[in-house]
Structure 1
């Protein structure tokens, strides 16, 4: 990444259930993973974070996400934001493909309109 950018193809990650892009692309500000869960499986643990919020983008399939003590149906097209302290676990009813983005809560100080420089 000495030139300031990195490029990968999803084809480089065939048959991998979790693609961690932080290492693959050298992210320094967030963690992004692309995940595939087989039907009738679940993340084998409940977890929460110390500082990082997560955003789940459901690309394909359906299932449920347990947030604290609430079980919520999820399906293709859903976007879920979860605060660090909320305990979470995902359950796939069908094959479930999703992106998970993790970043420190309240750390975004600039975004496209205030950080972008038009040349």
Structure 2
């Protein structure tokens, strides 16, 4: 098991309450702001922030999986290269040994 140290950068997203929304400067551009509109906006804002966090988490997970698979593919390629080299060296040694046996057998006759 390989232990990997992973660091996370956390970000706090602002969640405004009804008083903060009513007292903001740009919200005064709208003509009528009753409690239902502010409540709906607050609910929408909260739902949007939660959806954003979920999407960001899913993207982070996929990115981590892609990075891990890329590293695994590179490692597998290196391992195949080493095993191929070992196989070829062993095969060549067997061929050489057989040739030596044939030559020494022919010389004995």
* TM-score calculated relative to the size of structure 1: 0.20
Relative contact order (alpha carbons < 8 A, sep ≥ 6): 1 or 2 greater?
Answer: 1
Q: Which has the higher strand share?
A: 1
Q: Which has the higher helix share?
A: 2
The higher radius of gyration belongs to 2
